[in-house]
Structure 1
Amino acid sequence: MSNLTKDFIYEKMFNVLSDKPINFQDAMKLINSTDLDLLADCANQITVKFGGDKVDVETLINAKSGRCPEDCSFCSQSTFNTTKIEKYPLLTPEMILGQAESAKENGANSFCIVCAYRAPPEQDFVQICNTIKLIKERLDMDVNTSLGFMTRDRAQILKRIGVKRYNHNLETAKSLFDQICTTHSYEDRINTAKIVKEVGLELCSGGIIGMGESVEQRVELGFALQSLNPDEVPINMLIGREGTPLYNKYSLTEEEIIRTIATFRFLMPRTILKIAGGREVHLKKNDKKVLKAGANGIISGGYLTTKGNKPLDDIRMLKEIGLKQK
């Protein structure tokens, strides 16, 4: 490694620590740096400066599975794909409450209700709201939601009943999006994200890496997310499911994941960067590396159609590396 490379990484770290943003060219140099260890360490220093040593641990429930009318090529729940998954209508409030209670008992401090909709029909939206009220009455934990596209009126209702954070991912760079999905536009996703912020909900918006995007497109996604000022950014790592167009099409390395998350930390120093879907497959037992390379959040217990680590195991892992649950 040349001193020039080392000096550049340190310079950009000190810029970020002083609230001086980096530009696209800077981010490309960082993500392609010849010293991954230094990049990761500097990203970790930024995390500690703005977020301390606490990690956000979240559990989610797939509260309505499958039959989504959107044609997202990565998604096992799309009606356009032939993935063999369990499909079911919206779960009852009691069933969702039971999962929230279990999540809390297992150490999670936030619980996200996720449903496979373009947008919920009114009857389902009312039932979801009643479920949220029930959880807030019974349990002392944050409740988040991911329900597809939002109107301002619905977002205001969610805010009023106590939802903390709304998830709506950009998924990938705008320049790649029409190769991933054609039934809605990138602007549709941006619009929901903006509505969420405007009504005072926290915004969770991230993406998926490993869908054939270039390194430049990963950085492009990072800047698109940065422009939304999200409170949380989940980074998913594609597991190409059989029955989807992306099955066995692309590979993803641990180094690519670390480079992406570390660079995103330079772009979004105060945001919760959460390692999410696919981490158990792509990182195996090396989550610890990523949590010392810019990440300060995890989704635990499983994902929409994929099982995950047990929350208590994840919390034990955090303690092993000197981190605390937020």
Structure 2
Amino acid sequence: MSTQEFIKECQEKVFSGIQISADDAEKLFNISDHDLKYLAQCANEITRDFNGNRVDVEQLNNIKKNACSEDCTFCGQSAFFDTGIETYQLPSPEEVVSKAKIAKEQGAESYCLVAAWREPSSKDFNKVCNIIAEINNKVGISVECSLGFLTEEQAKKLKELNVKRYNHNLETAKSKFAEICTTHTYEDRLKTLDIARNAGLELCTGGIIGLGETREQRLELTLELARIYPEEVTINILVPVPGTPLELQTELPNSEIIRIFSVIRFLLPESVIKISGGREINLDDSGEELLQSGANGIITAGYLTMGGNEAKKDREMIEKIGLEV
């Protein structure tokens, strides 16, 4: 059987509702660059069949920035590193509502509140809940949250407030995690995802590629995501931040980026697969090729510590390749 015949056989399994095996995924992950375009084409066909032509567009609001107590080596918001990034505490509900209204007007269908801390204190969590309630009352946009570790009670409260989805990234493969963070464990992150799911929240999880991990470790992360089967996968591409331990990390080739997005689509045909931080810097086309290689979502108008494309520019990019916002 040729490589392209094998790829097609895997695609037919997906169309038939059969989960491809870990062995199949490993073979797909390690095909030659010569066959990568065909893998991406087949992943795109899976995307269109299960998800149509619509691209999930999301905006973020970094509602509490810097001085995080965790030592994640990629993060410019960690208190362990001197990165010169501005700091601020939780804003007023009115300020967040104003930005959420703009996000909705610009075509975002979801609005994610992100806070840089290990976990919310009771006081801060109540403030976030007030912000969510105000967005629900005055904006009418789907709210998602990324607030660090949660208790069961906090997760249930978010569900009561109609938060749709909870984001908590695995960051990298389990075998790589101890090199990336020492202040908490991989299992801590899995536990938070379990708490969120048990409360009835949809899950958004993923990681950052380009941290110095091997291709095998990117496959390891991909298979863990397939086991969790989240409603949304978010893949960031490292942008080295001066002052962090990874400030001199070299870029991944675009072929490796296409490879992980395509294989994730084979494993998670129904999920939103979102191109997140780093696409404007690491990709020549801001994501056009990835949106035709398995991805069906983007974050627009900036990220946690860096800017991004204007929403209008991203809408034009999506329409240019025949997709819909």
TM-score scaled by structure 1?
0.97
Counterparts of 2:219 and 2:21 in 1: how far apart (Å)?
A: 10
How far does residue 284 in structure 1 lie from its aligned partner after superposition?
3.3
What one-letter code is carried by the residue in structure 1 that aligns with 2:101? E
Counterparts of 2:107 and 2:72 in 1: how far apart (Å)?
A: 33
Counterparts of 1:250 and 1:227 in 2: how far apart (Å)?
A: 30
Match of 1:29 among 27, 30, 35: 27
Counterparts of 1:93 and 1:139 in 2: how far apart (Å)?
A: 12
Give yes or no for contact 2:251–2:282 (8 Å, CA) kept in 1: no
Residue 158 of structure 1 aligns with which residue? 158
How far does residue 26 in structure 1 lie from its aligned partner after superposition?
1.6
3-state SS, counterpart of residue 5 of structure 2: helix
How far does residue 286 in structure 1 lie from its aligned partner after superposition?
4.6
Counterparts of 2:85 and 2:6 in 1: how far apart (Å)?
A: 47
3-state SS, counterpart of residue 170 of structure 2: coil
Give yes or no for contact 1:66–1:78 (8 Å, CA) kept in 2: yes
Length, aligned pairs only = 323
Residue 8 of structure 1 aligns with which residue? 6
Matches of residues 1-326 of structure 1 in structure 2 within 5 Å?
4-34=2-32, 35-325=35-325
Counterparts of 1:128 and 1:64 in 2: how far apart (Å)?
A: 10
How far does residue 54 in structure 1 lie from its aligned partner after superposition?
0.9
Counterparts of 1:284 and 1:150 in 2: how far apart (Å)?
A: 37
Give yes or no for contact 2:209–2:236 (8 Å, CA) kept in 1: yes
Structure 1 residues 101 and 286, CA gap change in structure 2 (3 angstroms): closer
What one-letter code is carried by the residue in structure 2 that aligns with 1:309? N
Counterparts of 1:56 and 1:249 in 2: how far apart (Å)?
A: 30
What one-letter code is carried by the residue in structure 1 that aligns with 2:29? I
Give yes or no for contact 1:169–1:207 (8 Å, CA) kept in 2: yes
C-alpha distance after superposition, 1:32-76 (max 9, x if no partner):
222111000000111111111111000001100001000100100
What one-letter code is carried by the residue in structure 1 that aligns with 2:55? V
Give yes or no for contact 2:70–2:183 (8 Å, CA) kept in 1: yes
TM-score scaled by structure 2?
0.97
The worse-fitting range, judged by mean Cα deviation, of 181-190 and 30-39 is 30-39
Counterparts of 1:12 and 1:127 in 2: how far apart (Å)?
A: 48
- Specify every segment of 5 or more residues in structure 2 that has no aligned partner in the other structure, as ranges: none
The worse-fitting range, judged by mean Cα deviation, of 229-238 and 18-27 is 18-27
Give yes or no for contact 2:39–2:262 (8 Å, CA) kept in 1: yes
What one-letter code is carried by the residue in structure 1 that aligns with 2:228? L
What one-letter code is carried by the residue in structure 2 that aligns with 1:299? I
The worse-fitting range, judged by mean Cα deviation, of 258-267 and 16-25 is 16-25
Q: Which runs of 4+ in 1 moved over 4 A?
A: none
- Specify every segment of 5 or more residues in structure 1 that has no aligned partner in the other structure, as ranges: none
3-state SS, counterpart of residue 74 of structure 2: coil
How far does residue 128 in structure 1 lie from its aligned partner after superposition?
0.5
How far does residue 167 in structure 1 lie from its aligned partner after superposition?
0.4
Counterparts of 1:53 and 1:94 in 2: how far apart (Å)?
A: 35
Give yes or no for contact 1:24–1:219 (8 Å, CA) kept in 2: no
C-alpha distance after superposition, 1:282-315 (max 9, x if no partner):
1132511100000000000100001001112111
C-alpha distance after superposition, 1:12-41 (max 9, x if no partner):
111111121222222122122221110000
What one-letter code is carried by the residue in structure 2 that aligns with 1:32? N
Counterparts of 2:194 and 2:79 in 1: how far apart (Å)?
A: 27
Give yes or no for contact 2:120–2:150 (8 Å, CA) kept in 1: no
How far does residue 8 in structure 1 lie from its aligned partner after superposition?
0.6
3-state SS, counterpart of residue 294 of structure 2: coil
